[in-house]
Structure 1
Amino acid sequence: MTTTVITVAPTGAESAKSDVPGLPVTLDELVHTAAECAALGASVIHVHVRDDDAAPTLDPGRLRATVAALRQRTDLIVQLSTGGAVTDSEDDRLAVLDAGPDMASCTMGTVNFGDDVFLNRWEFIIELHTRMQDRGIVPEYEIFDLGQLAALQRLLSRYGLPAGGHVHVDLVMGVPGGMPGTIDALAACRQALRDLPAATTFSATGIGRSSVPVMLAALSGGGHLRVGMEDTLNYAKGQPVESNMQLVARAVSLAQLAQRPAATVRQARELLGVGVG
C-alpha cells in the first residue's frame, strides 16, 4: 500500500456527553467534526447517532438526516454503524441500511463487550451481508476475535463477494472480551487474512491504551487506521482527548512517518470499491 486510509469514529454509543464534553453528539457537532477531520486527512467517517438527550439511537429519520448533512458538507465516505448499542434489535440494526450510506459495518460474530454481550447471530450476519449486496452498500467487516476471520471466509465462500467486489476488514482490538491490542494478535490476524481473497485490506482499531501500539503495528503490517473518541478518550497518560482532530492529526503524522501518507477520499473510494457498480 502506498497510502493509508484513515477512518474517524467520532462518537460511538458507549460514552456519555456529561463525562466527555468534547464528544460530538448533535448533528451540528458531528458535521463540524467531520469537516475538520476531513481537512486533516480522514477519508472515512464511522457514524453513530445520538438523540436529543445525547443517548444512542437508530432513529431512521436521524440517520437519513445525518447521511444527507455529511454529504452536503464533506466528501467523506459515510459509513454507518449497524451495531448501534448492544441493546438494539436486529430489525432496527438492519433498517440502518435504509439511510443509504456509502458503507456500513458488518460484525462477524458475537462477542463479550465488557459486561455486556454484543450479539451477532449467523443468520443476522447473512441477512446484513446480502442486503448490502443488493443495495450496493460496501461493508466493513468488523473483527473482534481471530475466529471471526474464519467466519468471514465462510460467509464469502457461500454468499459471494460484497458490493464493490473488495473485501475490507477492521480489526477491533483491546475490547474487554475480544482479542487484545497486541502485535502478536495483529500478526495472527494478518496470517489468517491469507485465507481471504487476495486483494483483501485491513484497518486496525486499538481501544483505549492500545491505540498507539495498534496504529504502529498496523502501519508496519501494511494496514490502515481507524481512530476517534468512540475508541480512545485519553491522548496520553493523564491527558484526556479534547477533540477527534487530535487523534486524526496523530494518525496522519504516523502514516506520513511510515511513508504511507493519508489517502485522499478519491483514493479511498477506489481502494474500498465504494461507488463501484
Structure 2
Amino acid sequence: MSASTVHTTPVGTLITVAPTGAEHAKADVPNLPVTLDELVRTARDCEAVGAGMIHVHIRDADTRPTLDLGLLKETVAALRAETGLVVQLSTGGAVTDHERDRLRVLDAMPDSASCTMGTVNFGDDVFMNRWEFIVELHERMRERGIVPEYEIFDLGQLASLRRLLDRHGPPAGGHVHVDLVMGVPGGMPGDTETLVAALRLLPEGASFSATGVGRTAIPVMLAALSAGGHLRVGMEDTLSYARGERVKDNAQLVARAAGLARIAQRPPLPAADVRELLGVRATG
C-alpha cells in the first residue's frame, strides 16, 4: 500500500467540561451555572471552544444539589437537543446522597456516567463508595449501554478497577476510560510524579483524562498532555483562572485547555470522535 493511501486517525484531545459540581454555593459563586437555561448556554459556549463532553451535576429551584430523576431526564434531553456533546451524569452527587438515589441517576439514560472506584476523604467529608455499590453501578451501566468513566481519587483505586474488570467483565462500549481526579484534600496530589505513577497502573488499552482541583489545574493539564492524556476542566474543580483572578465562566477554562492541546499538537476532539473513542452508543 502506498503512503498516499494509508489512512491515519487524527490524534486529538478529549476535553470534558465539569461546569457546576455539588460543592460551591450559588450565593458564593454568582457565575456558577445552576439553572437548566444556564447549563445549556454554558454547554453551547464550551462546545464552541473545544469541549467534547459535559460532566453534569444539577441543582434544584433553591440552587441546592439534587439527584431528582425528572430534572435529570429534562437536563439530558435539553443538552442533547441543543448541543452535540457527549452527556455524562455524575453518580457521585453530593457526599450526603444515598446509594439508591445515585443508582437511579442511570434511569435518565445519559451517554456516560461516572463510577468512582473507592471511598475517599473529601476535605472534611467522606465520599463513600462501597465495593458492592461500585459493582452494581458497573453492571447497571452495562445493562443500559451507558459508558462509564472510572473516577480515580487515589492510586489504590486503580487496583480496584483491575479487580472490577477481572471479576465482572468489560464496561459498556468495551473501552476503559479513566479520569484521574488529582488535588482533592484527602486524595492523591496533583503533581507529575503522581500522574506518572498512576499511568503505570492503568489497565492495558485504557485511555485517561486528568482533573487538577484548585491550584493544581495547570500542572495537571500540562502533565496529562505530555503523557498523551485527555483533560477535564471546569468550575466544579477550580474557581481561579490565575493568581488573584477569578474564573469568568466555564468557556474560559475550556478555551485555555483547548489552546494548550493545540500547542501539544493534539487539538480538541469533536464530539463525534469522542463517541468513537469511548464507545458511546448512538442515540435517537
Taking structure 2 as the reference length, the TM-score comes to 0.95
Distance 2:282 2:128 in 1: 31
**Aligned residues, how many?**
274
Aligned counterpart, 1:150: 159
In the alignment, structure 2 segments of 5+ residues that lack a partner are: 1-9
CA positional deviation for 1:233: 0.2
Matched, 1:105 2:111: no
Change (3 A) 1:190 1:118: same
| AA partner of residue 12 (structure 2) | T
Distance 1:245 1:17 in 2: 18
Aligned counterpart, 2:243: 237
Aligned counterpart, 2:213: 207
Within the candidate set 213, 219, 224, 1:218 is matched to 224
Aligned counterpart, 2:18: 9
Within the candidate set 34, 40, 43, 2:43 is matched to 34
CA positional deviation for 1:182: 0.5
Matched, 1:45 2:87: no
Distance 1:55 1:242 in 2: 22
Q: Tell me if the contact between 1:8 and 1:42 (Cα under 8 Å) persists in the aligned partners.
A: yes
Alignment RMSD: 1.0
Aligned counterpart, 2:171: 162
Q: Whose radius of gyration is greater, 1 or 2?
A: 2
Q: Helix, strand or coil for the counterpart of 1:53?
A: coil
Question: What CA deviation, in whole Å up to 9, does each residue of 1:65-105 have, x standing for no partner?
Answer: 00000001001000000000000000000000000000000
CA positional deviation for 1:199: 1.9
Aligned counterpart, 2:34: 25
Aligned counterpart, 2:7: none
Distance 1:240 1:189 in 2: 30
Matched, 1:177 2:186: yes
Distance 1:71 1:51 in 2: 20
Aligned counterpart, 1:122: 131
Distance 2:273 2:84 in 1: 12
Aligned counterpart, 1:252: 258
Q: Helix, strand or coil for the counterpart of 2:142?
A: helix
In the alignment, structure 1 segments of 5+ residues that lack a partner are: none
CA positional deviation for 1:130: 0.2
Detail structure 1 runs of 4+ shifted over 2 Å in the superposition.
none
| AA partner of residue 205 (structure 1) | T
Question: What CA deviation, in whole Å up to 9, does each residue of 1:165-206 have, x standing for no partner?
Answer: 00000000000000000000000001111xx1x321000000
| AA partner of residue 83 (structure 2) | T
Taking structure 1 as the reference length, the TM-score comes to 0.98
CA positional deviation for 1:114: 0.2
Matched, 1:60 2:69: yes
| AA partner of residue 250 (structure 1) | R
Matched, 1:91 2:91: no
Question: What CA deviation, in whole Å up to 9, does each residue of 1:90-135 have, x standing for no partner?
Answer: 0000000000000000000000000000000000000000000100
Q: Tell me if the contact between 1:164 and 1:276 (Cα under 8 Å) persists in the aligned partners.
A: no
Aligned counterpart, 1:268: 274
Identity over aligned pairs, percent: 70
